[in-house]
């Protein structure tokens, strides 16, 4: 039985895990004390203070909506802030029933102190983690936020060239993800390491590229375009991968289309790639970008019986309009 057909956990078990995480996290960041970060403010008051500092002359209704807070509870907090001379009110010229809320100098100083303590806490937690641990933590937080809020804002994707340390990260993520999701053994990681080593050793910046995709500031995918060793007008697309937290954003298509544009710009006439028959999400991306399957052959690799596939894109034909597809799994393993 494949892992994808395994019995799904019950809702009761999932709810228990959800609650356990909430207990751990609230204890970990210290929000259960009388004052947040050893200040005079409770967590709710600190969140109201943040909204007052970051919204331009809001009315109470705006803050209640932003925080999902009961208006009566918010009113009591605002009265306390006003009595402590942290807040001043100004009648709205647009609605006689509403008043704009503004922090006083004392209120701004209180917020600045709280903001500084919060920044210090975050940095002190993150600096204790290894770099890959930080990346995993932030990616997981982004994934939780995206899942729970379903934010309509499009993600910010930045494609950049590789930097020192990126190639090691690529080998690690390729090996880890394919082992976890497909059960591939260490011979696959060895293949990735060889491809990456050859790229660094023989890198020709005029004809080759590695792109790292940063999604909201965190590495979320990568792809390579390299010269074919025996065919000077042919390029090879290699090591396309999209992180699980970034699937569904169209990042796979963005990376492939970037490869195609670069290949055309430097004069390649064809791009080829090698992938596996079971990576169907990758196939949809390749098809929509104009690639066509040209050859299939069974083989035993990475601890499994697989069907290898060769796909080709003829760059001599006019470019079609790029169409984006969401990557639901890893893509080309080579």
pLDDT digits (tens, 9 = 90+) for 187-230: 999 999 999 999 999 999 999 999 999 987 789 999 999 999 99
What span, in angstroms and rounded, lies between the C-alpha atoms of 300 and 321?
37
Neighbours of 259 (CB within 10 A): 23
Q: Which of 174, 159, 325 is nearest to 258 (CA)?
A: 159
What span, in angstroms and rounded, lies between the C-alpha atoms of 39 and 55?
22
Residue 217 gets the label, from left (phi > 0), alpha (psi -120 to 50) or beta, of left
List, for residues 135-189, the tens digit of each pLDDT value.
888 878 877 887 887 666 666 788 999 999 999 999 999 999 999 999 999 999 9
Regarding pTM above 0.75, the answer is no
Identify the three-state secondary structure at position 112.
helix
State yes or no: pLDDT of 97 exceeds 60: yes
Sign for the pseudo-dihedral over CA of 189, 195, 201, 204 = negative
Please enumerate in sequence order all residues whose Cβ is within 8 A of that of 161, keeping only pairs 6 or more positions apart, or say none. Answer: 209, 210, 211, 212
What span, in angstroms and rounded, lies between the C-alpha atoms of 224 and 273?
11
With a pLDDT cut of 70, the percent of the chain lying above it is 90
- Asked if residues 56 and 50 have their Cβ atoms less than 8 Å apart, the reply is no
């Amino acid at each position: 039985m494949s892992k994808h057909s395994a019995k799904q956990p019950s809702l009761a078990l999932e709810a228990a895990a959800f609650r356990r995480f909430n207990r751990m996290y609230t204890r970990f960041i210290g929000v259960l004390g009388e004052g947040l970060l050893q200040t005079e403010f409770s967590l709710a008051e600190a969140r109201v203070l943040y909204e007052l500092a970051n919204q331009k002359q809001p009315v109470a209704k705006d803050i209640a909506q932003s925080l999902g807070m009961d208006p009566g509870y918010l009113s009591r907090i605002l009265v306390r802030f006003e009595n402590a001379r942290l807040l001043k009110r100004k009648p709205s010229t647009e609605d006689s029933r509403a008043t704009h809320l503004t922090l006083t100098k004392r209120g701004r100083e209180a917020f600045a102190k709280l903001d500084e303590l919060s920044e210090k806490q975050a940095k002190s937690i993150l600096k204790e983690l290894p770099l890959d641990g930080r990346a995993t933590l932030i990616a997981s937080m982004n994934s939780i936020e995206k899942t729970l809020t379903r934010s309509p804002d499009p993600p910010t994707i930045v494609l950049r060239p590789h930097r020192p340390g990126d190639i090691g990260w690529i080998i690690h993520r390729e090996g880890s993800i394919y082992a976890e999701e497909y059960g591939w053994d260490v011979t696959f990681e060895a293949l990735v390491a060889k491809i990456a080593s050859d790229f660094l050793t023989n890198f020709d910046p005029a004809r080759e590229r590695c792109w790292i995709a940063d999604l909201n500031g965190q590495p979320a995918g990568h792809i390579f375009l390299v010269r074919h060793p025996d065919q000077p007008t042919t390029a090879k697309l290699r090591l396309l991968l999209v992180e699980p937290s970034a699937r569904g954003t169209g990042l796979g298509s963005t990376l492939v289309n970037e490869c195609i544009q670069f290949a055309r710009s430097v004069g390649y006439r064809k791009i080829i790639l090698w992938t596996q028959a079971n990576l169907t999400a990758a196939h949809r991306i390749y098809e929509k970008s104009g690639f066509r399957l040209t050859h299939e052959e069974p083989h035993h690799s990475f601890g499994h019986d697989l069907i290898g596939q060769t796909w080709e894109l003829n760059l001599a034909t006019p470019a079609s309009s790029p169409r984006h597809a969401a990557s639901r799994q890893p893509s080309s393993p080579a």
